Chain A
Amino acid sequence: MASIFFSSSRRKILSCSRSPPFIFTLRRLHQPYNSLTESDIQVFSEILGHNPSLLLPASDPIVTAASTDWTGHYGPAPARLLLRPQTTAQVSALLRYCHERRLPIVPQGGKTGLVGGSVPTRAHQEIILQLQQMNQITALDPLMGIVTCQAGVVLQNLQDYCADQGWLVPLDLGAKGTCQIGGNLSTNAGGPYFRKYGSLAGNVLGLEVVLADGRILDYNYRQRNNLKDNTGYKWHQLFLGSEGTLGIITGVTLACAPLPRSKQAAFVACASYNQVLLVLQKARQYLGEILAAMESMDAAIWTLVEASGRHKMPLSAETLRSDSAVLEGGPFFLLIDTHGSNADHDQEKWQTFLEAVQNDILNGVLAQDMKQYQSFWQIRESANPTVAQLGYTYKYDVSLPIAQFQDWIQEMRLERLGPLGRTESSLVNANWGHILDGNLHFNVTTIGEREVQKDLVNALEPYVFHSILKRGGSISAEHGLGQAKNHLLPSVHNEITLDWMRSMKALLDPKMILNPGKFLPVSS
C-alpha cells in the first residue's frame, strides 16, 4: 500500500481543530496506512515477549478464521497479522507503536457480533488485536457485588464466577459461552434482561481504556470501585457502544445484581398478536417486580426450531395452528421469565398471573425444575443459530413501539417479500425478539442458499430502515453498526449530531487507526 507523506505545512493545518468538517474531509482523501514491515513485526514480537503464540502471521489458518465474522457475511478479508497481548501495558505499547507507524487495527473479542464490526475490512487489512489472553477476573467484592475484570473474560465465565458468590452479572446473551465482556461493553450489548437489570452501560462503575496513541485512561478501575461517584465527566460512557473506534477497553468494574434465588419460566402460545399484548400487560401487572424477561418467537421460527430436532418442544406450532382462533402470523410464542428472592412468593404471583391470562392464551407450559427452565432458554437462544444454519440470513435488529411489531412485519411481508414470488420452502421470514424491551429481530433466510442475493437485498433495503424510522423506531436496537449499518447513520442523525461524533473520533483517534471503516459512515 502506498504511503502518502504530508508536507509539514499540511501537518500544521491538520493539527488545528478549528473546523472539523474540513479537516475530516481532508483526512479522508489522504487515508494513509503504512504497510507492515519486518521491523514492525520485530517490535511487536519484542513487546509480546517473543512468545510465538501471541503473534500469528497472516498465513496462519487461525488468522483466516479470525478474519471471518460469525454470520459469514464478512470475510475472510486478509488481516496483516494477529496480536494477542496479555496485559494492558502490552496493549498500550502496541497501540503507541501502531499510532506512530500509522498501522490500522481491529480489536477483537469473541467475534460473535452480527454486524461485521470485529473483523478486518478488505480496504484496510487491519491488524487483528485479540483480547482473549486478558481473561483474569481480578476482584469481586462479596458485600457490594462489585466485580473487576479484564476485557477478555468470557461472559459465561464471569457469570459463573459471580453466581458462585451470590451475584448476578446484569447481562446475558445467547453468545455467552464465546463472547467477551470487553466486546459486550464496546457494543453496549443488550440481551433479554435489559428491562429488569438496566443497560450494561448503566452498570459500569469503572473502565480502563487504551487510546489510539497508547495512553491508558483509567476511570475508577484500578481503585475507587464505588457504586456512586460524581467526580468528573462520565467520559468512560463514551467508549461503551463505540465498537472499538475510540479506544480499546482493557478492563471494567461492573455492578452486579443479587443472584435471584427463585427463577421460574413458562412458554405460552397466543392465537393473535393482540393477545400477546394482553399477556404482556398482565405480566407487568401481576408479575410486577419479578418479571425479568419476556421473549417472543413467532410461528415461523418456532416451526424451524422444532424441525431442527435438537430440542424437546413444550408446545407444537402445528397442533396449535389448527385452532380456529389463530390469526394471520400466529400462533405466537412467549417465554416469560421471572427472578425473585423467594420461590413461594413467586409461585403465588405466577398463580394469580396464570389465572388472569387463561383466556388470553391457547396453551402454555410452566417449567417444573431448573433443567426445564434452562431448556426453555436454550430453545429461545437457538433461534439465531437455527436460521444461520439453514441459509444466508438477512438480519434486521430493530426497535419499534411494541404495539406495532406485527403490523410492521405484515407490511414488510406484503410489500417487500410477497412481490418476490418465492415459495415458503425457499424463503422464510422468521421473527423473534425481546418484546419487553421493544426490540424485534426480523430475519429473512434463503433456505439452502448460502450466497447473498442482490435482488433480495434490494427488495429489503433501504425500505426496512425507512419504514422503521418512519415509525419512530431504531434501525439497530442492540446489534450496533459495525460495517453493516454505518452507512445508514446520515438517515438517522442530523448533521450536527454526526459532526459531533466525527469530532470525537478525530479527537481520540486522529490517525484513524482504530477499526477503520466501522461505526461512522465511510463516505462523507
Chain B
Amino acid sequence: MKILVGVKRVVDYAVKVRVAQGTVELANVKQSMNPFCEIAVEEAVRLKESKIAKEVVALSIGPKQCTETLRTALAMGCDRGIHIQTDLRTDYMELQPLAIAKMFQQIIEQKENPDLILLGKQGIDSDCGQVGPMLAGLLQCPQVTFAAKVESHDSGFLVERETDAGTESIHIQTLPAVITCDLRLNEPRYATLPNIMKAKKKPVETILAETMGIDLTPRNQVLQVIEPPPRKDGIKVADVDALIEKLKNEAKVLA
C-alpha cells in the first residue's frame, strides 16, 4: 500500500501572529510543519511500521523553504518527498483550498496513485479544513475527517471520527480514500539525529506550480485582516455582594 501525506508549512504554533501592512506578517517569522500534518505523518509512518503500508510519500506546496518541512517528514520516516514550488502565499491570502486540492489531485491521479491520502484536519493558519473534503470530492472517493483512530480493516480502514457529540466509527470499504487527522489520533515522534542524517539522502522532487496547468487564482477575496481587539483588563471587586451585582448587571450572566 502507498500512502500520500500532505505537509503544510505554517507560522509556528508557538509564535504570536501579527498583522503588518494589512496582512499576516510572515517576514522573519518562525515557520514549521502544521501540527495536524505532523499527526498525519506520524500515522502514515506507523502504518508503514506495522507493515500495512509499503511506501510513504510526503507532499508540500509552497516556497523553497518547504524542503525543510519535507526533511522533517522524511526524518520522521517518510520515504520520499514532492515539493510543488510556488511563491504564492499558502495561508489563504493567495493560494486557497480549491487550488491546493486540485494540485493534490493532479499528483495523485497522474503521478503517484496512492491507496490512502492522509492530511491534517486543517491548517492552523487558514483554519479552513477544506482541502481534505474537496480533494475527496474531486477524486470521487470516500473521506473521513477528524480521525481519532485509524485501524486497518478487511481491505479498507475502520476510522473513529470526532464529532461534537462523541465519536462515530466509519468503515472505509474501498480505496483510495482521504482521511484527515485530528489531535487525539497520535502523538508525533521526535526527529532523531540518525534519522535526520538519513533524511538528507532521501529523494525530494521539485515541481513548479505554474507548470501544472491548474488555475491557481483565489476564489475568495480577503477583504480585511485585523488583530482581535485587546482583552479588557479585569477588575477586582471588594466583596461577594459587589461580585454578584457585577455578574448580574454588567456581565449579565445571572438572572
Q: Which residues of A come within 8 Å of B, CB atoms?
A: 261-263, 266, 268, 312, 314, 343, 347, 354-355, 358, 361, 363-374
Contacts and interface: CB of A to CB of B under 8 A. Distances in A.
Interface in B3-41: 12-15, 28, 30, 32-33, 35
A355 B196 CA distance: 11
B230 interface: no
Contacts of A367: 190
Given A371-B13, A371-B14, A374-B14, A366 B193 contact: yes
A369 B33 contact: yes
Given A312-B187, A369-B12, A370-B13, A268 B193 contact: yes
B72 interface: yes
B194 interface: yes
A366 B32 CA distance: 13
B224 interface: no
B192 interface: yes
Nearest to A164: B16
A369 B14 contact: yes
Contacts of A354: 193, 196-197
B193 A369 contact: no
Contacts of A361: 193
A266 B193 CA distance: 9
B192 A343 contact: no
Given A369-B14, A370-B32, A363 B194 contact: yes
B191 interface: yes
Nearest to A266: B193
Given A370-B12, A370-B13, A365 B28 contact: no
Nearest to A313: B190
The list of the 5 closest CB pairs from A to B, nearest first, reads A369-B32, A370-B14, A364-B193, A365-B190, A314-B190
A354 B33 CA distance: 22
Contacts of B197: 354-355, 358
Contacts of A347: 68
Interface string B70-108: 001001000000000000000000000000000000000
Given A261-B28, A262-B30, A343-B30, A372 B190 contact: yes
Contacts of A268: 193
B33 A368 contact: yes
B248 to A, nearest CB: 25
B13 A369 contact: yes
Given A368-B190, A370-B12, 6 more contacts: A314-B192, A363-B192, A365-B191, A369-B30, A370-B15, A371-B35
A312 B189 CA distance: 9
B72 A358 contact: no
A83 to B, nearest CB: 20
A258 to B, nearest CB: 12
Contacts of B193: 266, 268, 354, 358, 361, 363-366
Nearest to B18: A164
Contacts of B194: 358, 363
A368 B68 CA distance: 10
20 contacts: A262-B30, A347-B68, A355-B197, A358-B193, A358-B197, A361-B193, A364-B193, A365-B190, A365-B191, A367-B190, A368-B32, A368-B191, A369-B14, A369-B32, A370-B12, A370-B15, A371-B12, A371-B35, A373-B14, A374-B14
A364 B30 contact: no
Contacts of B191: 365-366, 368
B196 A366 contact: yes
A274 to B, nearest CB: 19
Contacts of B32: 368-370
A364 B190 CA distance: 10
A28 B133 CA distance: 81
Nearest to A369: B32
A358 B195 CA distance: 12
B12 to A, nearest CB: 5
In this complex, which of A262, A268, A368 has the most chain B Cβ atoms within 10 angstroms of its Cβ? A368
Nearest to A344: B65
